[in-house]
Amino acid sequence: MSEGDAFDVVVVGSGGAGMTAALAAAHHGLSAVVVEKAPVYGGSTARSGGALWLPGNQVLGAGSADDGTHLAYVAGPDVPLTRRRAFLEHGPAMLAFVRSHTPLDFAWVPGYPDYHPEAPGGLARGRSIEPKPLDTRLIGPDLATLAAPYRAAPNGMAVTAVDYRWLSLGVRHPRSALTAARLGVRSTADRLRGRHRLTMGQALAAGLRAGLRRAGVPVLLDTALTGLVVERDRVTGIRCGDRVLHARSGVLLASGGFEQNERMRRHYQRIGTEWTVGATGNTGEGIEAGQQLGAALDLMDEAWWGPSLPLTGGAYFCLAERNLPGSLIVDGTGRRFVNEATPYLEAVHAMLGRDGSGPHLPAWLVTDQSYRDRYLFAGRAPRAPLPRRWFDAGVAHRAGTLDDLAARIEVPAEALRATVERFNGFAERGTDDDFGRGESAYDRYYGDPRQRPNPCLGPLRKPPFYAFSLVPGDLGTKGGLRTDEHARVLRSDGSTIAGLYAAGNASATVMGRGYAGAGATLGPAMTFGYLAALDMAEVRAARA
């Protein structure tokens, strides 16, 4: 065995879960290495909004704590109590650790509600935090190999989640105009000073990488997992082609989900890879490697779903577009089937018929010209012409009347007309009698405060009318290896596979089939990566 290829901890995957685990291992006296098959680090974390959902963390204070009631509501009874408790109890400690050992700091996302704020234990003010803008000069040579964001901000501006909320309302809104002006001034000042700042998932991934560099933890890019090494019924390393990396204390699989694996998606979800926005490297090797050793799988039919536009350049994950007034969603019958502003996971559950109502595909987001005059749409400025290629591809349709629009999208004209007329009545009264749109604080977060009496409801009256195709997209899959409260991988009989751990989307999420709030992917991912490192440190100490 080459000493250069022997470590206490081997981490597969350079996203938030993997880098947090490696950092924690290093600060507990363990030698660690991170392997990443892509030529860049950061994975889905770097592409994400970078938010963390962490009840009771030190940034928000004790008033944000969850006694377990809310997570139990979100996750459901199938997620063991021990795992839910582990997340809630150790999430704050994980965050304190990251703040102490990286250049990262975090701030509350003001007023971004839990996704079910009216449910038991939910908070309308929210529990989501995001990284503060991070000066790239703190990143050093690792900036060049940081994975690209999912959506690049215009003109290199450092846009936060808070900024996005207001920018989505279009420059005619005073708060939006003020936000755009502030960002423009700050961006100009940064350029004059020769400074550039990262935000959202870019900041999170780069800050964790900076912490690893300070701790002396190597990150091996272009290094793919090809198998696990097992000796005497214990995982003792990984294979990367002809190279073997030995792990004295354990291997953590933090290699992401399987959203980019066509075969796995067709098998487990009966859906392909074309509508995901997950990292291209997330093809499920870590999950399959664990499965080959007898690991149990959970939630393989689930994903971090969200209604998406199948644009010609790739899927576009919708956030604010559905909540803004002057829009509604219909299926092939020309009728509404869901509260359009509901959390995105639940919206796709409805599209797929998992709420018991039957599938509602195809689905169309219907708007009028007033909506296009006021709001950003898929990154396009208000009133800006939409690309001709969208219309040519059938992603977008435009017509002077609702009847003509119905003909273009092949839904019954009478039904679409009746749906819009009924919806317009709801908008005038401010009450959605069919689906309750705008009743939840979450619905209203991405609504338009100018719209009265309901910030999520506005009539569709001004031609031309538009219809945009909506598909069941996702941020990544959320099912994978079954784990316990220490992130140890389990067999179906509940026994552990010695030396093997999993966190992030390579494991079945502690959120179950639910979604607690912005950052309910990364908060648990990083927490269970942290817990895996703590357990491996205990293993090392016990064997010393």
In a domain, 420, yes or no: yes
Over residues 133-153, the mean pLDDT reads 91
pLDDT digits (tens, 9 = 90+) for 225-242: 999 999 999 999 999 999
Coil, strand or helix at 122: coil
Q: Report how far residue 345's alpha carbon sits from residue 217's, in angstroms, rounded to the nearest whole number.
A: 36
In a domain, 459, yes or no: yes
**Which of 474, 490, 517 lies at the terminal end of a domain, its last residue?**
474
Is the pLDDT at 366 greater than 90, yes or no? yes
Q: For residues 322 and 462, state if they share a domain.
A: yes
What is the pLDDT confidence band of residue 31, given thresholds at 50, 70 and 90? very high
Contact 219, 14 (CB under 8 A): yes
CATH number of the domain residue 462 falls in: 3.90.700.10
pLDDT given at position 157? 72
Higher pLDDT: 2 or 74? It is 74
Element (DSSP H or E) covering residue 198? strand 197-198
**Which of 173, 196, 219 lies at the terminal end of a domain, its last residue?**
196
What is the pLDDT confidence band of residue 112, given thresholds at 50, 70 and 90? very high
pLDDT given at position 173? 77
Q: For residues 173 and 314, state if they share a domain.
A: no
Q: For residues 462 and 323, state if they share a domain.
A: yes
What is the pLDDT confidence band of residue 263, given thresholds at 50, 70 and 90? very high
Average pLDDT along the chain: 95
Number of domains in the chain: 2
Look up tokens 């001709």; give the residue. Answer: 388
Is the pLDDT at 1 greater than 50, yes or no? no
Q: Report how far residue 49's alpha carbon sits from residue 512's, in angstroms, rounded to the nearest whole number.
A: 21
In a domain, 300, yes or no: no
In a domain, 431, yes or no: yes
Of 142, 232, 90, 166, the closest CA to residue 528 belongs to: 90
Q: Report how far residue 406's alpha carbon sits from residue 203's, in angstroms, rounded to the nearest whole number.
A: 44
pLDDT given at position 156? 65
Is the pLDDT at 342 greater than 70, yes or no? yes
In a domain, 277, yes or no: no
Tell me which long-range contacts 405-408 makes (C-beta under 8 A, separation of at least 24): 405/366, 405/465, 405/466, 405/467, 406/334, 408/467
Cis preceding-peptide flag for 464 (omega within 30 of 0) = yes
Higher pLDDT: 542 or 349? It is 349
Q: What is the pTM of this model?
A: 0.95
229 contacts: CB under 8 Å, gap ≥ 6: 235, 236, 237, 238, 239, 244, 246
pLDDT given at position 160? 85
**Which of 474, 497, 526 lies at the terminal end of a domain, its last residue?**
474
pLDDT given at position 155? 61
424 contacts: CB under 8 Å, gap ≥ 6: 459, 460, 461
Tokens of 544: 């010393």
Q: For residues 190 and 310, state if they share a domain.
A: no
Look up tokens 């995982």; give the residue. Answer: 235
In a domain, 20, yes or no: no
Look up tokens 């933890």; give the residue. Answer: 217
Is the pLDDT at 190 greater than 90, yes or no? no
Length of the chain: 544
Coil, strand or helix at 351: helix
Output the DSSP codes for 266-310: HHHHS--STTB-S-TT---HHHHHHHHTTB-EE-TT-EEEEEEEE
Q: For residues 311 and 192, state if they share a domain.
A: no
In a domain, 519, yes or no: no
Lowest-pLDDT range of 191-195, 313-317, 427-431: 191-195
Residue 82: exposure state from Cβ atoms within 10 A (0-12, 13-18, ≥19): exposed
The residue segments making up the domain with residue 426 are 305-474
Q: For residues 342 and 467, state if they share a domain.
A: yes
Q: For residues 325 and 191, state if they share a domain.
A: no
What is the pLDDT confidence band of residue 250, given thresholds at 50, 70 and 90? very high
pLDDT given at position 90? 98
pLDDT given at position 71? 98
530 contacts: CB under 8 Å, gap ≥ 6: 20, 21, 24, 90, 93, 94, 97
Is the pLDDT at 517 greater than 60, yes or no? yes
What is the pLDDT confidence band of residue 105, given thresholds at 50, 70 and 90? very high
pLDDT given at position 4? 60
Q: Report how far residue 442's alpha carbon sits from residue 236's, in angstroms, rounded to the nearest whole number.
A: 46
Of 269, 323, 299, 336, the closest CA to residue 472 belongs to: 269
Q: For residues 192 and 309, state if they share a domain.
A: no
Q: For residues 168 and 309, state if they share a domain.
A: no
What is the pLDDT confidence band of residue 357, given thresholds at 50, 70 and 90? confident
Q: Distance of alpha carbon 369 from its chain centroid, rounded?
A: 31
CA distances from 492 to 139, 253, 501, 529 (A): 42, 18, 15, 22
In a domain, 108, yes or no: no
